[in-house]
Chains A and B, each alone.
Chain A
């Protein structure tokens, strides 16, 4: 799970970059960039949870 989380994070970054290339209108661009950041945060959350499980914290 730890590695899955770490792999999801670059996917979020590429979503952000893709958004600025594909959309010129500010609203969809902002929504997609925020979505990319949320994907990164999900990946970070998965990684943190995997470390807690590894340590017996959950």
Chain B
């Protein structure tokens, strides 16, 4: 079948979206680099190799299982109160029939492959320095097989969240072109569950006094990762708007400008805040702020005006460093990459901002219901699944692994073999 024969999708839009989707993996690369830089030197190779393994597992499992439920035009539904609730897709198993799908369906699935790759490595950074690759791969498989596909059908398919506008008059239904809910909020919450189950790094929270500072080993990786992520995010947000909101290509410049303004506003706010609080700006918190601004843009860049995007970014840049501090100092949650604050909180704020800035009546409520679904339904289910998995395949490496570093423990060699790695005070 000629895939161009029955196209509702113009050829220019196809070419543009395909090019954008080829740039989008830079966001995943940037995130992997940030996760590695924020971890310890003795776990750097394990962190980057783990990212590749998790991405590979997530993509394979999504192709074999998840894609069946994620993006078919038809799905299973039930009827309550005279309303059809589409809850899961009903597609071809293991991508059979993929080559005969229409071009927009194929591009949609390609977008979902990239989304599941990014989702898989968000919790990886939060479990850095003590989480085994095999357990991380198992978590990625659960996310790609069950949780992401169901939410993808709800948000990007014809699921009940997208139908909120038609069935209940709530604006245009739940709107999330860049995947803030199903990539970032879901990923950030999975990071929270992983941080709970895997526990803090040894010596992080001593019995007396404040928590021990364990700074990332390479600020250059982290900050260069931020720049790479920007390129990927620009492409990501524009491709998402074309695919999921049917945005006209002439509107894409505004979406790109909004993405830039969100990121710029966020890092300006974090830079100022950390300079006021600590006397000097903090590089890792500024990187978290930048990334949080990008996460916020995933939800609101396609619906906001430039000034609104700037405001959304500034708020994200203020929330993120405060939340990083709250989680570490008050709630005793060890999250080396800041994934919970950046992805979960940044994503939730972005979705709320999209509701606030939308002009359609009821859009704000639709956005709140989408957030409620991820937080109230997916977090407890995820906790249960990960808890069971942790019983079968323990997440945490043996104490020796943390002492000598995950590179030596899992890979048998260091990322920086010429360097003499010093011991931590916590092991004396």
CB nearest neighbor in A for B381: A10
Partner of B372, one of A30, A36, A47, A48: A36
Does B383 lie within 8 Å of A36, measured CB to CB?
A: no
Taking the closest CB of chain B, its distance from the CB of A8, in whole angstroms, is 9
Does B83 lie within 8 Å of A57, measured CB to CB?
A: no
User: What secondary structure prevails in chain A residues at the interface with B?
Assistant: helix
A26-B331 contact given A9-B375, A57-B205, CB 8 Å threshold: no
Does B380 lie within 8 Å of A20, measured CB to CB?
A: no
Docked CA distance A6–B205 (Å) = 25
Note all chain B residues with C-beta closer than 8 A to A20. 164, 168, 170, 365, 369
Instruction: Determine if B361 is an interface residue (Cβ-Cβ < 8 Å).
Output: yes
Does B170 lie within 8 Å of A40, measured CB to CB?
A: no
Docked CA distance A9–B373 (Å) = 10
User: What secondary structure prevails in chain B residues at the interface with A?
Assistant: helix
Interface residues of A in 10-34 (CB under 8 A from B): 10-14, 16-17, 20-21, 26, 29-30, 33-34
Docked CA distance A34–B369 (Å) = 9
Instruction: Determine if B19 is an interface residue (Cβ-Cβ < 8 Å).
Output: no
Instruction: Determine if A7 is an interface residue (Cβ-Cβ < 8 Å).
Output: yes
Does A30 lie within 8 Å of B380, measured CB to CB?
A: no
Does A33 lie within 8 Å of B375, measured CB to CB?
A: no
Does B362 lie within 8 Å of A7, measured CB to CB?
A: no
Does A33 lie within 8 Å of B365, measured CB to CB?
A: yes
Partner of A26, one of B164, B361, B372: B361
Closest 10 CB pairs of A and B: A13-B376, A57-B332, A16-B372, A40-B376, A6-B380, A9-B376, A21-B81, A12-B376, A13-B377, A20-B168
**What are 22 residue pairs bridging A and B, where the CB atoms are less than 8 Å apart in the complex?**
A6-B379, A6-B380, A6-B383, A9-B375, A9-B379, A13-B372, A16-B368, A16-B369, A16-B372, A17-B369, A20-B168, A20-B170, A20-B365, A20-B369, A21-B83, A30-B365, A37-B368, A40-B375, A40-B376, A51-B333, A52-B331, A52-B332
B contacts, CB < 8 Å to A = 80-81, 83, 164, 168, 170, 196, 199-200, 205, 207, 331-333, 361-362, 364-365, 368-369, 371-373, 375-377, 379-380, 383-384
